[in-house]
Structure 1
Amino acid sequence: MKFIASLLGSASLVLAASRTSPPPGCLHVAKSGGAYSTVQSAINSLSTTSRTAQCVFIDQGTYTEQVYIPSRSAALTVYGYSADTTSYANNKATITYNLSAASAGNNDASATLRVHAANVKVYNVNVVNSYGKGSQALALSAQASSGYYGCQFYGFQDTVLANEGQQYYSQCLVTGATDFIFGQRARAWFEGCDIRVRNGGYYITANGRDSSSNPSYYLFNNCDVAAGAGESVSSGSYYLGRPWRKYARVVFQNTALSSVINSAGWSKWNGDNDVGNIYYAEYANTGSGASGSRVSWATTLRSAVSESTVLGSDYVSGAWYDASYPS
């Protein structure tokens, strides 16, 4: 681990952590000079039965490939090259692919990064599906308990599939247009993330919780919602979510909502009036998008929701969770 000194103002000296070479014991993926030239080849070389922790370091560059992480016994950490690991802003390792669900056969099969193993942590990697309009086309398919730290996820429709297990997203950038954070059973916490919308869409979340016993819960805490860089997005054109299934559960709290958010806040699914079991709520949001007359079936909370409420009381012991990030 190296450190870069940066000045803030005239008096404060802050040390920002960088990761520009493989940590000890990590497999090295690089466009040239590494032991592996593709991310998938490094993943494939790892044992799925060993219980010894594993790690992969992705050097700077753009890797045009799909990456599939199958179920395994060991915890796996994937690091990307970055001059400042506490943010996504200096990420230099990008995995990109162009594939739609219509061509792939289903949502998961279209994803650029497919995480099917529990106890995976990913740091400072950019993940892109460049397909664009016309079909679901995932950047990330998260099918197990996993954590994402200082990552970027970029797509259009259905960018991030948060589908199974306990999931944690910290200081990430998620960009999309239609239902671009979605899934059916995951308990997912988004902490300090930048949520960026693109021209041509309407809905940020599409939670698919289908019964009162389904644990799925999406919570956005200390996030920032605004138009993406270079995107021309009309005021009031976006909703925080629409319910993919009839027990959808999503909360935005302590989050800055820009003018792109419609004053109604939330939308029905294609006009479906069966919203009696939907749980859409807000607490202490700010910005012009936080004001207005919300739909009658949404809730204004009197206090913030805790991480343990969403993720369960055991979340701090999960190998996918990094309590120290972004320090």
Structure 2
Amino acid sequence: MVYTVWSAFNRFRTDTVDLAPDVTDRARTSRNYLFDQVKRLANNNADFPRLKGGYLSFGSFARKTKIQPLDDVDILILLNDENTEVQSLYNEPYTYYLKAKNSFAPLYLFTDDYNYVNSTKILNKIKYHLSSISNYKKAEIKKTMQAVTLNLSSYDWVFDIVPAVPAYNYSGSIAYYLIPDGKGKWIKTDPRVDSTNVTKINSRHNGKFLPTLRLLKYWNRRTHKPRLQSYYFETLAIQVFQYASSIDNFPNAIKYFFDNCPFYINQICSDPKNLGTALDLSVPQSTKDKIITAMSEASTFAKYALVYEEKSDNKEAIYWWQRIFGYEFPSYG
């Protein structure tokens, strides 16, 4: 039974928004199992892309920003970069070539006529060999041509497997990773930066940023308005709360977000890693305007909810939170 705003949010998070602990544990175990199978494939097949070290978990599941249902788990599998060099394109500032210096390069098998390593060839070879994994159901190249999506019959979620080549700086540390650009070449990324950014702001807010973000991501997913791409939406939330007072409760934090996010939506949203194009590059102003209108309405509803809660009218307060989050948000009683 739900008779307070606090209990309504608690029920909503547990039943509808947050991943259940047992699901999270199973997903992590399955991720480890998958990489063990990938290593086996690499060891048993000379034409499988050569690996270097382990894997890197990334995406919303790794950052603990995933909401129900768990539909995908992302991993970067690290490839052997020996005897390769990164070359940039003067007319494509965020696209790169990976050139094999000689035939001894572990990735030489996947080069074109000019000795450039073709990322699409690597994806296709990974897809080809995945069929020998136990519990295999289906594997296909994602529409973005940046990952192999693997379905295993024993799990509800799919795995997005992204081949990544580590690139090093002068001190010998990994500076960034190259991943497929969808056209055979490469782009830069570094999920470590995203993980660090989320961890820092969550710590600054005493562990309350992540659950707040997941609640907001649920709102973003609702169909009564356009939906912003998940990573872009997360970045907006980080911008909003980066210098805000410490989050003390979810209702106040949610209203604060709706009040302040429109300012950031109307700004250019640069890649937090400084490795790629702006996150809002493909978002038209008309879409931004619709999101801002929806946020203004949500802010008004949140104000009503807070006023009624202050008057100890939890029934009416819960009604207004339900107007924001939809009928999955628990009703009073």
With the shorter chain as reference, the TM-score category is: under 0.3
- TM-score in terms of structure 1 length: 0.25
More helix by share: 2
More strand by share: 1
